[in-house]
Structure 1
Amino acid sequence: MKHVLILMVSLLLAVFVTACGGEDNEAADNQNEDRPATSPVEDEPIVVKGDEEAESEILLVTDYSCPYCVDWYMDILPEIEANLVDEGAAQFRSAPVSFVDENSERLAAFDLAVKESAPEDYFAIAERLYADAEDDAVSGWGEPSYQEEVLEEFGLDYDDVMGAPVPDTDEFTNAYVEEHGFETVPAVLVDGELMEDSFDYDAIADAVNAD
């Protein structure tokens, strides 16, 4: 199964097993003022894709340095967007945790800062990060110089974005693990219920439609 096994939350370098430890429409990018029930972090910046009135929430807990999280974002999310988000059945959001390496922490902080400072650009920037993770031609992926380059392409200033007040990434990670009890990433929750197999699109769709 495509997952990252985390033996202890306090060990940010996980033991390797089978993996490495804005338009206003139905598919719009929205920054919620009300924190969803699935967020255990009071000051978490929240950006959602989809109709704010949708009855279901699909939450991805992800580590940018995890190749299986990259696979999920590039392969499973488009199907979710086309069939569930764009149809108004669910909204989608993500939460970045840091398990694997130094880039996990860097990009978790970057993710949260972009959500806080430039929510309208967040999903486009996140997709760029995942796409670049698979591109061997991209140098310095995840490092501050890479982050600055990406932000410049969106007309954003690195210092302004990274100066935003965001949660500590270690505390953020621990809070999500303690709240939702997942042991692997990518972890997918539908309305707060942890999916047994995050790559099982049919099970995710059934959980949404069950509501």
Structure 2
Amino acid sequence: MKIKRTWIIVIVVCLFALAILGTLSFSNDSKDKLDSKALHKDTALQPQLGPKDSQVKLILFGDFKCPYCGDFERQILPKIKKDYIDTDKVELRYVNVLIHGEESKRATRASLAVNKYAPEAYWSFHEALYHAQPKSKEAVSDEEWLTAQLVEKEINALKIKPEQKKQILNTYNDKTFHQQAKHEDQLAKQYKVSKVPSLYVNGQRVEDVSDYKVVKEAIDEALKQQTEK
């Protein structure tokens, strides 16, 4: 009788443990999978690359002052662009996250102003800011380099009309762009984006954005799902 009671206790404990593991697994899945329809609707006005009617959308959350975002922009994004964006397979949207204080805000405001007054030059400006990062990761995070002088230098280097440059330079510090920058940061908080860079493919977070093989598998799976519908 004692042995039977012991086995019952063991079975109950095992079932309880399995239930806990199942709950944890579900929690992790729900954290990594967002409501893609809501996310796509909320990012509809973000800077974008690729066909807007694509059924596979990539949402990239980043910070110009994040060294790992810089790595992604220089090493991973060009491959995505070559394989999927230039071939009209996916659409990419970018959302600013304000992690590193005033410098992040300054760069974000300037990029938003460029996107408003010279949208054709947005990605050139976006790329220029990331390529202006210091070589040392510590320097990117800790040193002051995203200065007004650097931002304005890169605006002046854009191949756009003089009146466009003037509009951008005269307004990027205005209240409107302060509010827009704050809105984008709130969007990241709303979707519980805990780190940058974070890439979501149709609402599913890519586990390792530093490995192009992992990124490619996520995009290919999303494309496959669309063809099977």
Question: TM-score, normalised on structure 2?
Answer: 0.66
Aligned-residue identity in percent: 23
Q: Secondary structure at the match of 2:48?
A: strand
Match of 2:181 in 1: 169
Shift of 1:88: 1.6
Higher helix share: 2
Match of 1:202 in 2: 213
Q: Secondary structure at the match of 2:129?
A: helix
Match of 2:190 in 1: 178
Contact 1:39 1:176 in 2 (8 A): no
1:146 and 2:157 are equivalent in the alignment: no
Contact 1:60 1:186 in 2 (8 A): yes
Structure 1 or 2, whichever has the larger Rg, is 2
Q: Which amino acid in structure 2 is aligned with residue 62 of structure 1?
A: G
Map 1:6-155 onto structure 2 (within 5 A): 37-38=38-39, 45-134=45-134, 141-154=145-158, 155=162
RMSD value, Cα: 2.6
State the 4+ residue runs in structure 1 displaced beyond 6 angstroms. none
Contact 2:115 2:122 in 1 (8 A): yes
Cα distance in 1, alignment partners of residues 175 and 117 from structure 2 = 6
Cα distance in 2, alignment partners of residues 37 and 124 from structure 1 = 28
Cα distance in 2, alignment partners of residues 91 and 134 from structure 1 = 29
**How many residue pairs end up in the alignment?**
172
Contact 1:117 1:164 in 2 (8 A): no
Shift of 1:197: 1.5
Question: TM-score, normalised on structure 1?
Answer: 0.71
Q: Structure 2 regions of 5+ residues with no counterpart?
A: 1-36, 137-142, 224-229
Shift of 1:153: 1.7
Q: Which amino acid in structure 2 is aligned with residue 76 of structure 1?
A: I
Q: Secondary structure at the match of 1:183?
A: coil
User: What are the superposed Cα offsets for residues 84-110 of structure 1, whole Å, 9 maximum, x if unpaired?
Assistant: 111221121211111123211111222
Cα distance in 1, alignment partners of residues 173 and 105 from structure 2 = 13
Q: Secondary structure at the match of 1:89?
A: coil
Cα distance in 1, alignment partners of residues 64 and 41 from structure 2 = 20
